[in-house]
Amino acid sequence: MPAISTFPEEGHLHRHVDKLILPLSAATNNKIRTAIVCPPDIYGIGTGTGNNQSGLIPLYAELIGASPEAGAFVVGAGKNIKSFSHISDVVEIFLLLASEALRPDGGKADWGGDGFYFTSTSTVSFPELAEKFVAIAKEKRWLPPTTPTAIQHRSAEDMRPLINGLGAYMWGANSVSSADRVKKVFGWAGKAPSWQECLEEDMKAAFAVARSDSLKWLTDWQ
């Protein structure tokens, strides 16, 4: 926590929010109990009535669907690794904290300055993701059969302008965390299927709602 609570705002997307939330319990003499749940990239289909998809897989589908002749890609050598968590595992941690917040003295949860919970359950290697993505998409005819099987290596400079400047971070950065606190405090362990098991379902949903102007190629070969 000392490192997390002293990050500068520059270069840390959520730091301005952390600075508001983390001190609030102490400032109100624990009348307001706060915790931050910090998931990594999320996979799986949500069950809510609003948006039920995450970001990484749908955006990947949209980019590749817009230019299938370029194929799937990694950034640089593709050696970066990111943590992953299924949406149902993330929700379970929110529910655990909500339940503890109703107990006397906040139950056994850590709150305030110590109330920071990572939710990671696995890691994803981008070459593995790209290879599985293309294989599934071609088999299911979500991508044309002419889509290259070989994974393309794109530069960080090429990716940087995408997604409001976050493209290089989204697919080219390392981002690894461990759910140590939630395991220690609650004895928690993720129960959801792996990202590999969920990938086809996530892709099906992603291609179903991808922007239609990105997917005009579909009419050319189906």
The pair of structure tokens assigned to 27 is 């400032």
Please report, for residues 16, 117, 118, 125, 187, the alpha-carbon distance to residue 179 in angstroms, rounded to integers and kept in the order given.
Answer: 22, 7, 5, 19, 11
DSSP 200: H
Give me 127's structure tokens: 């070459």
Measured CA to CA, the distance from residue 64 to residue 149 in angstroms comes to 12
> Domain locations in the chain?
37-210
Q: How far apart are the first and last CA of the chain?
A: 53
Cβ neighbours around 147 below 10 Å, total:
19
Calculate ∠ Cα 181-94-166, nearest 5°. Answer: 85
Q: 69: helix, coil or strand?
A: helix
What is the tens place of the pLDDT at every residue in 135-152? 999 999 999 999 999 999
Q: Please tell me the CATH superfamily of domain 37-210, with its number.
A: NAD(P)-binding Rossmann-like Domain (3.40.50.720)
Supply the pLDDT for residue 8.
67
What pLDDT is stored for residue 210 in this prediction?
Answer: 67
Residue 38 pairs in a beta bridge with: 118
Residues 185 and 17: their CA atoms lie apart, in Å, by 24
Task: Write down the pTM of the prediction.
Answer: 0.86
Give CA 67 to chain center in angstroms. Answer: 23
Ranges of residues in the chain with a pLDDT under 70 are 1-2, 6-9, 11, 210-222
